[in-house]
Amino acid sequence: MSVLTSPATGSRSRRRLGLAVIAAAQFMVIMDTSIIGVALPQMQRELGFTPENLSWVFNAYVVAFGGLLLLGGKVSDVLGARTVFAAGWVVLAAGSLVAAVAGNVEVELAGRAIQGAGAALIAPSALTLLMMLFGSEPRELTKALALYGAAAPAGGTAGVFLGGVITEYLSWPWVFAINIPIALLILAAVPSAMPGGAMGGSRRVDLVGAVTVTAGLAAIVYAVVQAPEVGWGTARTWWVLGAGVVLMALFVALQARGREPLLRLGIFRAPDLAAANLAQLLLGAAWIPMWFFLNLYLQQVLGFTAFPSGAALLPMTLLIMVGMIVLAPKVLAAIGPRHATVTGLALLAAGMGWLALVDPDGSYLVDVLPASLVAALGMSLAFIPTLGTAISAAPPEEGGLASGIVNTSYQIGSALGLAVMTAVATAAGADRLGDVGALTDGYSAAFAGAAIVAGVGALASLALLRGPRG
């Protein structure tokens, strides 16, 4: 995937409208990962999810999103960013409708996967459009990227809060249905706000590579999620896990030998790029399980209903937004990306280690709030430097590809981390609904596991990142 710059197109007002639409896209893509959290217990009761497959409400979206991101970028280059951006919103709206009207587990997960596919078209084409609108004016581009970056934590914050409001006062299908009118508004704005035209170059799209990486990732996640239910020692678990590993190895082989691959493997020779992507992968693998199980602890152990549960997570998500916009740039300037990353991941590990001490008779103010704020501070400090390092480490002409890779790393880490921690939580008692003590033990084990992942990320970053450059 490549992001090319061109002279800014259209009037200033058009460019502002375009930036607003692009920021809305980033906002919605992230919101769709967080808005479901508060609704999960209600969905579990009404659709018949088991504790083992409940995480697939999140994973179905993330596997499709992460697995298809590189394909979305390539298609954007071939067909034109505006066309693919609009198509992505059509797909996202269709998936939202399916998820909203679902009456069983299978249809719900299909809707979430369709949503993820739409997001995989939207995210890379949105960045390409931003560069087309502002790439010729560095000062304006800096402002545009700042707003684009701030839209992500804002979407996470809004998702948590809106999820609580919608689930409490409407019903869980509306956490998906809300996407449809927003998609229609954005589609109406696209023709007048976005520059047209394709990027040029090859017309070939590596569909085999895209299918292979997505199927391989899905098989690995499925095997890990289902293992506690069917048994780690069963042939089914190991056949599916082995198939996933083989598919991922096949994807790497195809990319190494292909003339026009989705992912040019040589890009990883760039200093710090591989290390920054590893940090992003481990960051997603630690953060998403914490957010997922904290929602369940608040509702199933502390007895919060949907709206208070969403409001309870608001301080954490607000701190992330403020930390990313205000604090992280200052920390980066003071100590550099390497030490900022290590500090952030260490704080994230400390916060989740603190959360692992939760008990059945705990309270929000003592057991949840302070620990979640420490974890949120760590997340905000680690995310920005690893993202910036991963993009800036690549040659300038491959900045778009580097952006797609780091987004994919985070999404893959999120899916695999949640799958593993779901298995850990289930083994420790999280499948015994109604038994508050067992549920707490299970969630505590997941928090402890996520803390270990964050700690490994801090050590890996300390060892592998080379430190600041000019």
Q: What is the pLDDT of residue 9?
A: 43
Q: What is the pLDDT of residue 395?
A: 66
- Same structural domain, 243 and 333: no
Q: What is the pLDDT of residue 107?
A: 92
- Same structural domain, 236 and 158: no
- Residue 363 is classified by DSSP as -
Q: Which domain holds residue 99?
A: 9-195
Q: What is the pLDDT of residue 150?
A: 63
Question: Token match 């951006």: residue?
Answer: 85
Residue 347 lies in a domain: yes
Residue 427 lies in a domain: yes
- Same structural domain, 160 and 288: no
Q: What is the pLDDT of residue 219?
A: 81
The domain tally of the chain equals 3
Q: Is 102 helix (H, G, I), strand (E, B) or coil?
A: coil
Residue 143 lies in a domain: yes
Residue 225 lies in a domain: yes
Please say whether the dihedral angle defined by the alpha carbons of residues 127, 130, 135 and 140, taken in this order, is positive or negative: negative
H helical segments located in 301-425: 306-312, 314-322, 328-355, 369-392, 399-425
Select from 173, 195, 217 the last residue of a domain.
Answer: 195
- Same structural domain, 306 and 409: yes
Q: What is the pLDDT of residue 19?
A: 85
- Same structural domain, 442 and 359: yes
Residue 3 lies in a domain: no
Question: Token match 């990353």: residue?
Answer: 341
Q: What is the pLDDT of residue 374?
A: 94
- Same structural domain, 59 and 172: yes
- Same structural domain, 278 and 254: no
**CB 446 within 8 Å of CB 251:** no
- The segments of the chain whose pLDDT lies below 50 read 1-10, 199-201, 469-470
pTM (2 d.p.): 0.76
**CB 374 within 8 Å of CB 319:** no
**CB 172 within 8 Å of CB 218:** no
Q: How many helices (H) and strands (E) does the chain have?
A: 17, 0
- Same structural domain, 356 and 247: no
- Same structural domain, 342 and 212: no
Q: What is the pLDDT of residue 408?
A: 75
**CB 398 within 8 Å of CB 332:** no
Q: How far is CA 413 from the centre of its chain?
A: 9
Q: 330: buried, middle or exposed (CB in 10 Å: 19+, 13-18, 0-12)?
A: exposed
- Same structural domain, 228 and 281: no
Tokens read off for 150: 């701030």
**CB 163 within 8 Å of CB 38:** yes
Residue 346 lies in a domain: yes
- Same structural domain, 309 and 403: yes
- Same structural domain, 313 and 329: yes
Q: Is 305 helix (H, G, I), strand (E, B) or coil?
A: coil
**CB 383 within 8 Å of CB 283:** yes
Please say whether the dihedral angle defined by the alpha carbons of residues 257, 260, 265 and 266, taken in this order, is positive or negative: positive
Q: What is the pLDDT of residue 89?
A: 93
